[in-house]
Amino acid sequence: MALRVYNTLSRHLEEFKPIKEGQVGLYVCGLTVYDHMHIGHARTYIAFDVIVRYLRYRGYAVNYVQNVTDVDDKIVKRANERGINPLELSRAYAETSLEDASRLGLLKADAYPKVSENIPEIIAVVRALVKNRHAYVAGGDVYFDVSAFPDYGKLSNQNPERLSEHRIEHNPQKKTPIDFSLWKKSEEGELGFKSPWGYGRPGWHIECSAMSRKHLGDQFDIHGGALDLIFPHHENEIAQSESLTGKKPFVKYWLHTGFLYSSGEKMSKSLGNIISVREFLKKHSAGAFRLFVLMTHYRSPLDYSEDKIVNAEGALRRLRNFRAELRAYLSKANREGSYTVQRISGELKEDFVRYLNDDFNTPEAVAAVFEAVKKINSVLTSGESAASLERALSVFDELMVVLGLDGVFSEDGLTEEETRFVRERSMHRAEKNWVEADRVRNMLLERGIMLVDKSDGTTVAERVR
């Protein structure tokens, strides 16, 4: 079964065919760093973390880019309230967000471009849009001319004329009410940068067009973010980017995550019901939150409650206990015996791949794991062969890496991070990605951990110093 994804642009499930065979360019809108990451953000980043993991598991070379918005009106406002430099504020929150991402077990993106470090690229894009008459200058500001882009509204299914009618804010500088800012004039002493139009700073939307182009080119495969970014942010990105490149399709597949709710209300700063990742991790584990997220499809709304997290902690314990029992039986198993567990594991792997091929359906994939655990537990005492148990352990570990749950299982004498590296290398070996497998082996050897690969594909890690 081919991988299919739900494309917000077409509103259909489509077979996934990257622009360049074997390669995937993926861009996810990152944080505006004026506060700590909260669990609503984490829901989105965990979803895309698993998407990246699965694409790599399937053998794709993924170039994963996640921007950092460190120049923004919200940042300026928060910095002024605290009496500090805006870039100092955003730098501090960018660092804590990366720390939180690591604690959540998120893979590192291949690039985290910041607005403040890409001003020349942003100015070049704005200049080109002015030159080809898709943007205009008005008193130190630059606006995108929506009327010059006939396809405006195609992602969000919005009618530009209706939008103009309902836009309340009146700005006499704009040609039409829905024209949006590419460059904004900054007052003296405010955060800003020199530009052909005077001292100012970029609008919100232009940064992603400029930085995705820099790292992924004029066209790339997947652009992701939360549902509330469809309009206006992603709609405006399309208008800017396709106007710049002569209407080449900017992105092939648009993927969006559903909202995180609490007691039926969307988590938001305005409602005061958000929970930061740091607050959450004081009481609960990162693995429990990840499992809680993965038990709902990434496009569906997700309702948060303490009871659900407690249930997820319990489910996580069942997985830990299962793996521990599997290892215990393996340690005393004979070479001769039945292969029932191996058969169940093979069926699990087939089901797991089939579900994730269906628009990354993690709830069904996770359910398949627990069903297989139940079946294997029922036959563990019936004299399984060592080879069968080793294969089951290998498949289980492989799938946990894809789900990002591998870090919750620790090998004797290894830290969670080192355990995760061992499992990632096992996945590289399964994919026959020998370059990456050797790189991880050498890195672990430098830490004093020796890996021994067995003929059946399992790997044993031993700390030698």
Count of alpha carbons within 13 angstroms of residue 187, beta-carbon side: 2
The encoded tokens of residue 199 equal 């001292």
Nearest by Cα to 129 from 153, 151, 146, 108: 146
**What is the rounded CA–CA span in Å between residue 390 and residue 400?**
15
**Regions in the chain scoring below 50 on pLDDT:** 168, 465
Q: Residue 225 CA to chain centroid, in angstroms?
A: 8
Q: What is the pLDDT of residue 382?
A: 84
Q: What's the alpha-carbon Rg for the chain, to the nearest Å?
A: 25
Q: What is the pLDDT of residue 465?
A: 47
**What is the rounded CA–CA span in Å between residue 377 and residue 313?**
20
The amino acid present at 449, given as its one-letter code, is: I
**What is the rounded CA–CA span in Å between residue 296 and residue 167?**
35
Packed helices 306-331 and 362-379: angle between N→C axes, nearest 10 degrees: 40
User: What's the first-to-final CA gap in the chain, in angstroms?
Assistant: 46
Length, in residues, of the chain: 465
SS (H, E, C) the chain: CCCEEEECCCCEEEECCCCECCEEEEEECCCECCCCCEHHHHHHHHHHHHHHHHHHHCCCEEEEEECEECCCHHHHHHHHHHCCCHHHHHHHHHHHHHHHHHHCCCCCCCECCEHHHCHHHHHHHHHHHHHCCCEEEECCEEEECHHHCCCCCCCCCCCHHHHHHHCCCCCCCCCCCCCEEEEEECCCCCCCECCCCCCEEECHHHHHHHHHHHHHCCCEEEEEEEHHHHHHHHHHHHHHHHHHCCCCCCEEEEEEECCEEECCEECCCCCCCCCEHHHHHHHCCHHHHHHHHHCCCCCCCEEECHHHHHHHHHHHHHHHHHHHHHHHHHHCCCCCCECHHHHHHHHHHHHHHHHHHECCCHHHHHHHHHHHHHHHHHHCCCCECHHHHHHHHHHHHHHHHHHCCHHHCCCCCCCHHHHHHHHHHHHHHHCCCHHHHHHHHHHHHHCCEEEEECCCCCEEEEECC
Q: Taking the complete model, does pTM exceed 0.85, yes or no? A: yes
Going along the chain from its start, the domains and CATH numbers come out as: 19-279 (3.40.50.620), 311-408 (1.20.120), 410-465 (no CATH)
Any residues with CB less than 8 A from the CB of 189 and at least 6 apart, and which?
none
Q: Which tens digit of pLDDT belongs to each residue from 107-126?
A: 999 999 999 999 999 999 99
